[in-house]
Amino acid sequence: MPELPEVETTTNGLKKKIMGLKIKDIWTDLSTKDIRQKNAVANPKYFPLFKHDVIGRKVISVGRRAKNILINLSGNKTILIHMKMTGHLLFGRYKFKKKINKWLPNETGPLQDPYNRFVHILFSFSNHKMLAFSDSRKFGKVTLLDTHTMHKSVHLKDIGPEPLARSFLFPNFKTSLIKRPNQKIKIALMDQSLIAGIGNIYSDEILWRAGIHPESTVSKIKEEEMKLMFKAMKELLLKGIDFGGDSMSDYRNIDGERGKFQLHHKAYRKTGEKCSKINCTGVIRRKVIGSRSAHFCSSHQKLFL
């Protein structure tokens, strides 16, 4: 699933591509009765309402909240996009193939990447280019909110603070995590109601760098290690953005290109490899914790219970 750095990379790309453009049309081939998609484009009863409210509006700004992309439109409307497990946004020229009922890139280059072929939603803009939502598993969410009240909506109201905000200092970090004193730190870091935007990849990397075992109990972690974890979180999320996100799996940026953070993993999906920490003799292990996979060093990551 795209995490904060991937969503931030996409958001930054959109700011360069769609600002000031008008939405001319919208297409989708999604159709679901899943109650969780009741007010989303994937619901065939909701889609006509969404389309009516969006066409003709201009993109005013683009932002991010946790793992959600927020495209603010004229008339105080905001398109919220959550890429979920396998979704990513692509921008360029597309053509529709009636025989297969699919949109395909009408240009050479990264958009031709096989991971970019699962286009299920497409926005046409006034400059004759398109914003495509590729999502192989069709779990992504696209909906429309009132801009002034969107942060009170069910989609955003229970999300925790942004970890890269200047105002998010170590005391805030500690206060957020200690709300789950008996929880394992791996799970607490990924709890979106505590801290926004961290998922499986970056939680593994943060804990590896801080030297904390993922099964450690939050309340038992010492102050010194908690500070190391806070520092690692800030550094690694920024590093993820600098490298254009993580493309170990499906994620691509809006130009269809892979990010490079996966080339710098120290723990995530490194099972069986020797730990790369200097003078460490450990091996990277994998263990399921709270239904999520954790990758960690068998030696230098301390267990606090």
Give 174-233 pLDDT, tens digit per residue.
Answer: 999 999 999 999 999 999 999 999 999 999 999 999 999 999 999 999 999 999 999 999
Helical H segments across the chain, by residue range: 4-17, 47-54, 170-177, 185-190, 200-210, 223-242
User: What positions carry a catalytic annotation?
Assistant: 2-3, 67, 292
Distances (CA, A) of 144 to 81, 82, 141: 9, 12, 10
pLDDT at site 184? 98
Give the whole-angstrom CA distance, residue 56 versus residue 74: 9
Q: What stretches of 55-140 adopt beta strand conformation (E)? A: 59-65, 68-73, 77-82, 87-92, 94-97, 102-105, 119-125, 130-135
For the chain, what percent of residues have pLDDT higher than 90? 99
Tell me the pLDDT tens digit for each residue of 132-157.
999 999 999 999 999 999 999 999 99
Tell me the pLDDT tens digit for each residue of 38-90.
999 999 999 999 999 999 999 999 999 999 999 999 999 999 999 999 999 99
138: alpha, beta or left? (left if phi > 0; alpha if psi -120 to 50):
left
Give the whole-angstrom CA distance, residue 150 versus residue 90: 24
Give the whole-angstrom CA distance, residue 202 versus residue 200: 6
- Phi–psi pair at 278, nearest 5 degrees: -55, 130
pLDDT at site 242? 98
Give the whole-angstrom CA distance, residue 45 versus residue 227: 49
- Phi–psi pair at 256, nearest 5 degrees: 85, 10
pLDDT at site 44? 97
pLDDT bucket at 274, cuts 50 / 70 / 90: very high
* Token pair for 265: 């993993």
Alpha-carbon Rg for the chain, nearest whole angstrom, is 20
pLDDT at site 233? 98
For tokens 């954790």, name the residue.
294
pLDDT at site 256? 98
pLDDT bucket at 1, cuts 50 / 70 / 90: confident
For residues 84-107, average pLDDT: 95
For residues 232-253, average pLDDT: 98
Of the candidates 70, 83, 96, which has an alpha carbon nearest to the alpha carbon of residue 18?
70
